[in-house]
């Protein structure tokens, strides 16, 4: 379940959450929550950082009845990655945000930080100090040239969920069959050693159907 927060009507009502919880029990469904991607714990504006904290708390409190497998948070970095001072200040702002979340009653065990465009070590201190879990987005890592097996091996114990999707011509969230055989072999190696949740993060049936078929074919070949 992916949320935005700009519109007041973008979040489901408590009655909708109750209905979703009932469907979960009836059909043995589980949910993972993607926290709004239009809020920023690292914003330069303190009021916007405060709004991010309040929004995260509101969504987590709202969706707790669903017993989500993960509540996934983006921590984007949109400045010069080679500017060490900029990176350090970004980290400081995020650290303060997690301190505020902790003070508001949102424990780290409720949050999973998604891998994005930068090296995972940039958020390593947050993961350790606030007992956060990790959402390893294999598609993001592949697109930005990171060693997915090295990342998984380092953070496997903290990983609660894996996002899986294809990458093609610099575009992510494509059908899984857009990955090369070598890339998919690495993906299958990772999945065979992972006992958590895997989410195929594609946004159309056109991409979902071939992704499921391709994943099954690759899995059978591995066996």
Residue 5 lies inside a defined structural domain of this protein: no
Q: Structure pTM?
A: 0.93
pLDDT value, residue 2: 83
pLDDT value, residue 7: 66
pLDDT value, residue 42: 96
Is residue 30 pLDDT above 80, yes or no?
yes
- Domain containing residue 79: 14-222
- Tally of structural domains, the chain: 1
Say which CATH number the domain at 205 has. 3.20.20.150
At 10, is the pLDDT very low, low, confident or very high (cuts 50, 70, 90)? confident
Q: What is the CA radius of gyration of the chain?
A: 18
β-sheet bridge partners, residue 198: 162
Distances (CA, A) of 126 to 19, 129, 191, 210: 35, 5, 25, 37
Residue 121 lies inside a defined structural domain of this protein: yes
pLDDT digits (tens, 9 = 90+) for 188-212: 999 999 999 999 999 999 999 999 9
Average of per-residue pLDDT across 34-46: 94
Residue 9 lies inside a defined structural domain of this protein: no
Residue 40 lies inside a defined structural domain of this protein: yes
Residue 7 lies inside a defined structural domain of this protein: no
CA distance 68 to 31: 5
Residue 128 lies inside a defined structural domain of this protein: yes
Residue 8 lies inside a defined structural domain of this protein: no
Residue 81 lies inside a defined structural domain of this protein: yes
Do 96 and 59 contact (CB within 8 A), yes or no? no
**Interstrand relation of 171-174 and 166-168 (parallel, antiparallel or unpaired):** antiparallel
Mean pLDDT of the chain: 94
At 217, is the pLDDT very low, low, confident or very high (cuts 50, 70, 90)? very high
**Positive or negative, the Cα torsion across 8, 10, 15, 18?**
negative
pLDDT value, residue 221: 83
Is residue 8 pLDDT above 70, yes or no?
no
pLDDT digits (tens, 9 = 90+) for 70-112: 999 999 999 999 999 999 999 999 999 999 999 999 999 899 9
pLDDT digits (tens, 9 = 90+) for 95-154: 999 999 999 999 998 999 999 999 999 999 999 999 999 999 999 999 999 999 999 999
Q: Where are the alpha helices (DSSP H) in the chain?
A: 14-27, 46-63, 84-103, 124-129, 138-143, 148-155, 181-192, 205-222
């Amino acid at each position: 379940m992916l949320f935005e927060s700009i519109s007041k009507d973008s979040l489901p009502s408590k009655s909708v959450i109750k209905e979703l919880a009932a469907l979960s029990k009836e059909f043995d469904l589980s949910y993972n929550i993607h926290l709004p991607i239009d809020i920023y714990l690292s914003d330069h504006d303190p009021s916007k950082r405060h709004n991010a904290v309040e929004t995260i708390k509101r969504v987590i409190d709202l969706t707790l009845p669903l017993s989500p497998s993960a509540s996934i948070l983006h921590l984007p970095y949109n400045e010069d990655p080679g500017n060490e001072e900029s990176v350090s200040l970004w980290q400081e702002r995020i650290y303060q945000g997690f301190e505020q979340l902790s003070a508001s009653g949102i424990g780290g065990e409720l949050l999973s930080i998604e891998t994005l465009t930068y090296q995972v070590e940039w958020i390593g201190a947050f993961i350790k100090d606030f007992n956060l879990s990790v959402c390893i987005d294999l598609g993001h890592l592949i697109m930005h040239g990171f060693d997915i097996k090295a990342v998984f091996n380092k953070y496997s114990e903290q990983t609660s969920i894996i996002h899986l999707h294809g990458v093609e011509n610099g575009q992510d969230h494509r059908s899984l069959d857009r990955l090369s055989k070598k890339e998919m072999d690495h993906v299958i190696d990772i999945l065979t050693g992972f006992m958590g949740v895997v989410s195929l993060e594609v946004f159309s049936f056109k991409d979902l159907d071939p992704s499921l078929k391709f994943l099954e074919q690759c899995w059978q070949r591995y066996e």
